[in-house]
Each structure stands twice: as structure tokens, then as C-alpha cells.
């Protein structure tokens, strides 16, 4: 069982965090990978696209009597080939996504923990971090803005995910 | 019969208070920028506008200073005396008033405050408890008017972490610490004690406040 990557999209459809895990060294438990390297890659855009479409379709299929919050999280996971995509959307339209292999059934509690604990504490309550990641075009040259780039968030979520038995 | 001032309080959300206090530094920087702008140009560039703030409202003349972003903290003015003094003054005013309310309440409990050490204990216990819901972790003095108050987990800055590294984080956290410095100075002033208060932080969220007074104890 393995978790391959972790994405966060904001409500402007930008990928504000992207963490990819490379499972090379299983012996000593460390894993290498990349942080915020592929935020604008085609994979990231396609992933967002499929999530957005599936979410829209699935909420239409659901009985509209249901409450708003249930509809917004109607889509929880789906499988493509050897990958399973786990999805959680906050009411503020932040989208948390984990990509794993097919053996992991449900990561909703993990996604919720990433949002309710790590994101809130290290991004929202951290007044040195922006909460609005939309960028005007003239600051695109600055690679660090427009993404979650503070070391506490990166390290703590890494530790958390790597401590999971099925990582 | 009127209620006691402090008995009327119910509770304030910790997060809401923190977020409000965190706005002190950006606001102070923006005020200084606005003053500079209006001094430089006779007709103010940012004329008073009546429109409500929206997500792409430019908040000041600082580049890309939009709501929800932190570009304002990269302004060269962040360590300007005018900016830090303004933050300190807010704390000072709050301290002056807070001492009065807390003391009035204290009187009925029979606590006696006679010398400077009692005043410091009052800051450590009552004031910190009121503002941060905890007490100071340590109080030291050289008995020549200098006191060091240590808060091992100062709440307002405990989650600070800049994307530009530790150095940047500490530099920006220090500006926020002018507020509690002002609070302490205001409290002491309300007892008639003139003081000079600075804060030191080398590792978050461990903060020590150095208080210099002219009173020998």
C-alpha cells in the first residue's frame, strides 16, 4: 500500500500545494520526493479537471433534498487504473486530494486531519502565510508566492502522512 | 445593582482575537505608507474611496497588497520607528486601561500591591491571564530595576512560519512583539512606574520581555 501524492487546490482552481512521494528506500523508512514542483503541470490540471467534472455530475445524481454539505462532498474517491484518488472539499471550496494505490479504501479521515489540523494551524493561523493565493500576472515571476511554502506545513504534513501505516 | 465589569464578560473566541491583533502590524505599515504618499504628492493618489473592499482591492500603495496576502510585511517600512511606535502605542493605551479594570476587580479580592515586585507579579499573573489565558513562565530580577519576564509559548506568534525561512520569521515576529511591550509599559505607567520594555525572541514561541525601570528594589 502506498500514498503517491498530495494536492491542494484553492477556489480559483490553482494548485497551491503539491507533494509527490517517491517510494525508493523502504528499508529505513525515509522517502524522497518533490514539493511544489508540478503545480502547473498537465497532470495537476487534468486531475483538477476530472475532479471538478465528477463532482458536478455526482452532485446532480444525488437527491437534491440532501443538505448542502453532503452534496459538496458527494465525491469521495474513484479509481483510475492503478491509482485511487481520494477527495475532500471544504465549504470554502478548498480541495484536498490524495493519490494512492488501489489497496487503500478510505482516506477521508486523513484528508480531514490535513485540513482541520495542519492547514488551519500552519496556514490560516500563521499570519506570515497568505490565505488568498490568487496571483496577479505581474508577480508570476516570483515562484514562492501563490503556493503554500512554509516549512512547518511541509514538514508536519510529511511527518503525518509518513507515520500512517499504509504510507 | 450594576454588574461587576469583569463579571459581565462571557467569552471571546481565541482565534478571532488573535486574527484581530495580527492585523495591527499590516495596518500600521499601511498607515505609514498612506502618510508618505500624501506627503509626496499634493493630490493624494489613493483618494478616499467609498467602495467596500473586495478581493482585488489594493489596500495600499505597496505592490500587490491585496486582502489575504502578506506582501505588506515585505515593505521596507516594517522596522520603521513610526510603524513600531504606532504598534507600541496601541499596547500602551490598552495597558493603561486594563490595569484600572483589573485592579478594581482585584481590590475586592484583597490582593495588596505595594512594591515593584508586586507590580511585576501582577503583570505575570493577572494581566497575562486576562490577555492570553496563561501566566508568565518565569520572572527574574537583578534587584536594580531590571526585570525579565519569560513566556515560553507566547500565543500570538506561536504559529508564525514564513516561507522565507527562520530568519525572516523571527524578524517579522519581532515587530508583532511591540504590542505586548506596550501593554506592559502601559500597566507599569498606571502604577506611576516609568519603564522601557523590549522583547527578545530567538526561537519561537519562546519570548522574553526585558523591562528597565529606574526603581531599585
What does the pLDDT read at residue B1? 44
Widest CA span in chain B: 59
**Residue B130 maps to a domain:** yes
* B79 Cα to chain A: minimum distance (Å): 16
Residue B98 reports pLDDT greater than 80: yes
Residue B113 reports pLDDT greater than 60: yes
For cell 520526493, what's the residue?
A33
Q: Which residues of B17-50 are buried (b: 16+ CB within 10 A; e: fewer)?
A: ebeebbebbbbbbbebbbeeeeeeeeeeeeeeee
**Residue B167 maps to a domain:** yes
Q: Pick B161's closest partner by Cβ from A128, A138, A145.
A: A128
* Grid coordinates of B38: 500624501
Q: Taking residues A49-76, what's their average pLDDT?
A: 76
**Residue B20 maps to a domain:** yes
pLDDT, greater one: B3 or A76: A76
Residue A31 — very low, low, confident or very high, per pLDDT cuts 50/70/90?
Answer: low
For cell 494551524, what's the residue?
A121
* B159 Cα to chain A: minimum distance (Å): 5
pLDDT, greater one: A8 or B39: A8
CATH number, residue A25 = 3.30.450.70
Residue A138 — very low, low, confident or very high, per pLDDT cuts 50/70/90?
Answer: low
Q: Taking residues B7-16, what's their average pLDDT?
A: 76
**Residue B158 maps to a domain:** yes
Question: How high is the mean pLDDT of chain B?
Answer: 84
Asked if the Cβ–Cβ distance from B163 to A144 is below 8 Å, we say yes
What does the pLDDT read at residue A160? 92
Residue A27 reports pLDDT greater than 60: no
Asked if the Cβ–Cβ distance from A149 to B22 is below 8 Å, we say no
What does the pLDDT read at residue A63? 66
Give the contacts of B209 (CB within 8 A, at least 6 positions apart): B148, B149, B150, B151, B180, B181, B184, B197, B198, B199, B200
User: Could you tell me where the DSSP H helices lie in chain B?
Assistant: 14-22, 24-40, 81-109, 116-122, 128-132, 166-176, 178-190
A121 to chain B: which residues are within 8 Å by CB? 159
Count of domains observed in chain B: 1
B71 to chain A: which residues are within 8 Å by CB? 145
Asked if the Cβ–Cβ distance from B159 to A121 is below 8 Å, we say yes
* ipTM score for this prediction: 0.78
- What does the alpha-carbon distance between residue A126 and residue A56 come to, in Å, rounded to a whole number? 32
Residue B96 reports pLDDT greater than 90: yes
- When scoring B161, B167, B204 by the number of chain A Cβ atoms within 10 A, the one with the most, hence best to mutate, is B161
- A151 burial (CB, 10 Å; 0-12 / 13-18 / 19+) is middle
What does the pLDDT read at residue A135? 66
Q: Point out the least confidently predicted range of A30-44, A90-104, B1-15, B114-128.
A: B1-15
- What does the alpha-carbon distance between residue B24 and residue B29 come to, in Å, rounded to a whole number? 9
For cell 494505490, what's the residue?
A101
Q: Point out the least confidently predicted range of A87-96, B30-39, B55-64, B207-216.
A: B55-64
Q: Taking residues B104-112, what's their average pLDDT?
A: 66
- A46 burial (CB, 10 Å; 0-12 / 13-18 / 19+) is exposed
What does the pLDDT read at residue A49? 93
Give the side-chain half-sphere CA count within 13 A for B14: 8
Domain coverage including residue A71: 3-163
B70 to chain A: which residues are within 8 Å by CB? 127-130
Q: Point out the least confidently predicted range of B12-16, B31-35, B57-61, B85-89.
A: B57-61
Q: Taking residues B155-183, what's their average pLDDT?
A: 91
CATH number, residue B165 = 3.30.1380.20
Count of domains observed in chain A: 1
**Residue B121 maps to a domain:** yes
Instruction: Kindly state whether B15 is in contact with chain A, defined as any CB-CB distance less than 8 angstroms.
Output: yes
Angle, in degrees to the nearest 10, between helices B166-176 and B178-190: 30
DSSP state of A165: T
Domain coverage including residue B123: 14-213
Q: Which pairs count as long-range contacts for A154-162, CB under 8 Å and 24+ apart, including other chains?
A: A154/A19, A154/A35, A156/A118, A156/A122, A157/A6, A157/A19, A157/A114, A157/A118, A158/A19, A160/A113, A160/A114, A160/A118, A161/A3, A161/A6, A161/A21, A161/A110, A162/A29, A162/A31
Instruction: Kindly state whether A152 is in contact with chain B, defined as any CB-CB distance less than 8 angstroms.
Output: yes
Amino acid at each position: 500500500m502506498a500514498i503517491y501524492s498530495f494536492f491542494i487546490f484553492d477556489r480559483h482552481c490553482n494548485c497551491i500545494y503539491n507533494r509527490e512521494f517517491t517510494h525508493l528506500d523502504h528499508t529505513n523508512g525515509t522517502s524522497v520526493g518533490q514539493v511544489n514542483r508540478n503545480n502547473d503541470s498537465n497532470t495537476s490540471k487534468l486531475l483538477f479537471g476530472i475532479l471538478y467534472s465528477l463532482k458536478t455530475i455526482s452532485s446532480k445524481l444525488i437527491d437534491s433534498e440532501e443538505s448542502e454539505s453532503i452534496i459538496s462532498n458527494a465525491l469521495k474517491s474513484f479509481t483510475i487504473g492503478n491509482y485511487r484518488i481520494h477527495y475532500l472539499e471544504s465549504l470554502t471550496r478548498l480541495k484536498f486530494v490524495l493519490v494512492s494505490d488501489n489497496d487503500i479504501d478510505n482516506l477521508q479521515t486523513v484528508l480531514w486531519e490535513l485540513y482541520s489540523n495542519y492547514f488551519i494551524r500552519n496556514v490560516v493561523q500563521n499570519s506570515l502565510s497568505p490565505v488568498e493565493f490568487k496571483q496577479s500576472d505581474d508577480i508570476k515571476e516570483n515562484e514562492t508566492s501563490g503556493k503554500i511554502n512554509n516549512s512547518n506545513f511541509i514538514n508536519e504534513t510529511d511527518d503525518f502522512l509518513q507515520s500512517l501505516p499504509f504510507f | 445593582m450594576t454588574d461587576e465589569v469583569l463579571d459581565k464578560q462571557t467569552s471571546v473566541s481565541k482565534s478571532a482575537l488573535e486574527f484581530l491583533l495580527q492585523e495591527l502590524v499590516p495596518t500600521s505599515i499601511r498607515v505609514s505608507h498612506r502618510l508618505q504618499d500624501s506627503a509626496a504628492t499634493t493630490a493624494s493618489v489613493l483618494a478616499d474611496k467609498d467602495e467596500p473592499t473586495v478581493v482585488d482591492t489594493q489596500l495600499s500603495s505597496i505592490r500587490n497588497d491585496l486582502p489575504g496576502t502578506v506582501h505588506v510585511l515585505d515593505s521596507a517600512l516594517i522596522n520603521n520607528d513610526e510603524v513600531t511606535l504606532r504598534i507600541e502605542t496601541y499596547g500602551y493605551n490598552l495597558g493603561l486601561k486594563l490595569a484600572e479594570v483589573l485592579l478594581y476587580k482585584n481590590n475586592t479580592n484583597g490582593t495588596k500591591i505595594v512594591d515593584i515586585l508586586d507590580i511585576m507579579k501582577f503583570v505575570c499573573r493577572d494581566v497575562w491571564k486576562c490577555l492570553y489565558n496563561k501566566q508568565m513562565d518565569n520572572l527574574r530580577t537583578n534587584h536594580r530595576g531590571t526585570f525579565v519576564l519569560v513566556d515560553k509559548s507566547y500565543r500570538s506568534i506561536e504559529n508564525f512560519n514564513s516561507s522565507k525561512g527562520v530568519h525572516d520569521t523571527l524578524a517579522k515576529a519581532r515587530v508583532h512583539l511591540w504590542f505586548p511591550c506596550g501593554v506592559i509599559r502601559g500597566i507599569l505607567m498606571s502604577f506611576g512606574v516609568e519603564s522601557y520594555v523590549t522583547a527578545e525572541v530567538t526561537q519561537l514561541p519562546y519570548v522574553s520581555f526585558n523591562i528597565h525601570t529606574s526603581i531599585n528594589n
